Amino acid sequence: MIALVSDLHSNREALEAVLGAIAELAEVKEIVCLGDIVGYGPDPEVVVDLVRQRTSFALMGNHDEALFREATDFNPYARRAIEVTRRKMRPGLLASPEKRERWRYLQSLPSSVRRDGLLFVHASPRDPLREYVLATDGIHNPEKMEAVFAAFDGVCFIGHTHHPGIHGPDFRFQAMDGADRMRVRLPTGEKRLVNVGSVGQPRDGDPRACFATFDGESVAWHRVAYDFRTTMEKIRATPGLDDILARRLAIGK
């Protein structure tokens, strides 16, 4: 069994809570990360270190990539957060080896991994870093979903929207809807697009961190309560991070 995490967004408290919950699942043999390790939150260095230590591989998300280019397509809150993260993490002339290694690690992240008939990307099989596959696309944009499904075979795992759930062959989205845990069996030979949700900044109305597990036959999503108030206080104490990034953690939006 593998555990899948995504959209950690420099949220140490959420990631540590999720890693603790995963450690209690004896069946889990490895952890993979689908990107957006940094951005928005106050603890990028600790979160990067935990990902390096605990995952078998991690992917690059759009916020990770933005450290190395201009984040012109980001909203002002996200762009300022990337600037704060870049100032904190970019190694200078006298930087420590640890700081340099973190920076190189983020630079080297792949945009996708294919393994055992599974595709792992951050955003979409058509655009691994940026395309949003929304919960409503199956209803409002079926042509888009047809093209997305044509871009992969078998099962594709994504994050990016921070909304946990699954698109089936009819393109409709099955969401968690506030459940503590949801399990869905994946029929052999049918395509499934699985969004594993967000560890560090949930946006489906549930403030609890979310991760998924996959055992080869079914996928399960798990919600984990964490001390978001501590994360909120850290955000508010970090110059350059906007208060909205703290407030949204309390409501999961």
Domain locations in the chain?
2-251
**Cα–Cα distance measured from residue 246 to residue 183, given in angstroms and rounded to the nearest whole number:** 30
* Protein fold of 2-251: Purple Acid Phosphatase; chain A, domain 2 (3.60.21)
Which tens digit of pLDDT belongs to each residue from 136-173? Answer: 999 999 999 999 999 999 999 999 999 999 999 999 99
Q: pLDDT tens across 173-197, in order?
A: 999 888 899 999 999 889 999 999 9
pLDDT in tens, 203-248: 999 999 999 999 999 999 999 999 999 999 999 999 999 999 999 9
Nearest Cα residue to 249 out of 210, 203, 217, 218: 203
- Predicted confidence at residue 130, as pLDDT, reads 95
Kindly report the pTM of this predicted structure. 0.95
49's CB contacts (< 8 A; 6+ apart) are 102
Half-sphere exposure of 119 (CA within 13 A, CB side): 24
